[in-house]
Structures are given as structure tokens and as C-alpha cells.
Amino acid sequence: MDPVGRSVAVLAYPGMSGFETGIVTEVFGLPRPELDVPWYDLRLCAERPGPVPLLGGASLHSPYGLDVLAAAATVIVPGVPDVHGTPSPGLVAALRRAHRAGARLLSICSGAFALAGAGLLDGRRATTHWRYADLLARRYPRVTVDADVLYLDDGDILTSAGSAAGLDLCVHVVRRDHGAVVANAVARRLVIPPHRDGGQAQFIEAPVAVGPDDDRIAGSIAWALAHLAEPLTVARLARQAHMSPRTYLRHFAKATGTSPIRWLVEQRIRASLALLETTDAPIGQIATAVGFDAQVTYRHHFTRAMRTSPSAYRRAFRTGADAPAGGRRVGRPRPAERGQGAGT
């Protein structure tokens, strides 16, 4: 396996869409010398090196096979040709070999079926597109399927929901490897938010009308992000949206899939990451700067969301180790805990 951890291999398979491979190539394959950090070395790998037909009649040609995929430090499966099928023995062997060698494995959308078919999700939590969640749970009962989140980080194995959620996951990986400042820069290049709020529940088909209330919620969210250091309550946010608190709670949940207070906690924790990574400010000062009323409150919420303490996060980042992954909820918390990707 790549000893320095920069190699990334993505599986190209017949019938895949250009968007699926584009997600990975945009984040990991595009050179970014302006960021002044060692960037990734991306390879597109096919089960059989040569032409790989894509949706729409196009094809891509890859000289790399499963041996290159198995030797990479990060292996990404962006989907499978058929969610009712089983991964080939060759692919299963390559995924298992990569995992044994210490590789980090990612799946996007239906790619979770390949990881599950290789037995790598047994006893773990995982996610996939909400349309496939029930099928994944039925076919692989040893996998705990969470259909709500946009992605889950289980350390060495990470899974994401539908294709666009793959952008969230890839930027999360950049954040793990290089910190929040670099990840936010990549997100700006892609013209996407560095972290999206809410889970898959907000995207499941439902007859929800879109009206002026959505604009008022969006306005209150933008205002809150500009005033995180201030005391923020539901009543104050509701006033910004010109709603009663009860009406605001209902419309906020409909728009984001979470509550205002949980959303605020998540935003404040994320705002603190860059301060931990790039400054020597005391923890209490950082807590105040991002809006927590007490250091103990900040430590409690940080530890719950990131599964490490602020001080340990800072030490890990400063020593050059991967910033803590934050456990399975760092990127996309589910509603009970809830609390952003990159073009040229």
C-alpha cells in the first residue's frame, strides 16, 4: 500500500455516470498547488483495464486494474452496476486486500453494496441512497443501515448517501487529512458549502410546498452564521424571520431536517475547528468566540459530536496526524444529534 497515504483509487465500472467519477476527480484529482499541501495522486481503476462504457454512450479508458486499486491508501467505490447483483470475486478480493493493508475505504450512493458484499460493513453502521436503504438492510442484515444521514465516518470505512452527498463525504475526507481551512478552500473552488445541514430526510419525496417561508428561514440562517458569537435563541431567530417561535420551529425543521438549537451547536463546533487548527488561543477563548456561554458547555458538545476533546483534536492536528474523524456523526448527524465540497 502507498506508504505516504496520498494515493486514491476510484473504481470505474460499466454503466456508471460521469457525475459519479467527476465527484472524485474534482476533489482528489485536480491539482491544487495554491493550497500548499501535499495533494492526492488519483487513479481510475477498472476490473478489466481498457475501455469502460458510461451512461450516454461515452466511455473512458483506464490502464489501471484491481491491483492498483488494492494498493491505494484510499479506495472509493462510487456505485455498483446493479444493487440486486453481487460484486465479482475479483472486486471482493481487491477490497478485502486493501482493507487488510490499512486502506481507507469510501462508498458513494450504491457503492455501499460492494463494501457490504465484501463483508466489510458487517457489524458497522453505514448509509446509502435513501431509495436503496431498505434493500441494503434486507440483503445484508449484519449492517446497521442509517437512511437519514448524508454520510457516516466509521474511521477506516466511510459511506455516503446519494451521489451529491459524495461531495460532502469527499470534502469531509479533505478536512480529515488537511484541516478545516484547506477543506473550506476546496469547497469554495467547487462553489458549494463546506458542510450541508440536515440529513437525507429532507430529500425524500414528499408533497412539500416551497414558498416565501423558505426564504425567511434561509435569511435567518444567514444572519445566524454572521452572529454565531452572540447569544442566539429560537425567539431571536424567529424575530429575524418575522415568525412566531412555534411557526419558526416548524418551518426550520421542514427546511433543514433539524432544530435551530442543534443546528447552532453544529455550526459553532465547526467554526471552532479552524481556530483549534490555526491559533494558540485558549479553549475557553475559542468557546466564547464561537458563541458557547461556558467552556464546559463547549467541551461537552464538542466531545459528543467529534468523539474527542478540543485539546486532543488540536494536538492531533498539530502533530501532523489525521484530525480526528469525529466518529460516525461528524459529517452528517442524524436528527437526534444533528447538528458542508469543489470545481475549478
Dump pLDDT digits (tens) for 91-123: 999 999 999 999 999 999 999 999 999 999 999
CA 322/CA 313 separation, integer angstroms:
9
Predicted confidence band of residue 255 (pLDDT cuts 50, 70, 90):
confident
Q: How far apart are the first and last CA of the chain?
A: 29
CA 172/CA 342 separation, integer angstroms:
12
What is the reported pLDDT for 201? 41
Torsion of CA 105, 109, 115, 117, to 10 degrees: -170
What is the reported pLDDT for 24? 92
CA 206/CA 76 separation, integer angstroms:
31
Mean pLDDT for the chain? 84
Helices vs strands, H then E, count in the chain: 14, 10
Q: Which three cell numbers stand for residue 282?
A: 485558549
Average pLDDT score over residue span 300-314: 87
CA 138/CA 148 separation, integer angstroms:
17
Closest CA to 267 of 237, 244, 311, 235: 237
Residue 47 DSSP code: S
pLDDT in tens, 276-292: 888 899 999 999 999 99
Are 68 and 86 in contact, with CB atoms under 8 Å apart?
no
Contacts of 288 (CB under 8 A, 6+ apart): 229
pLDDT in tens, 42-99: 999 999 999 999 988 889 999 999 999 999 999 999 999 999 999 999 999 999 999 9
What is the reported pLDDT for 12? 94
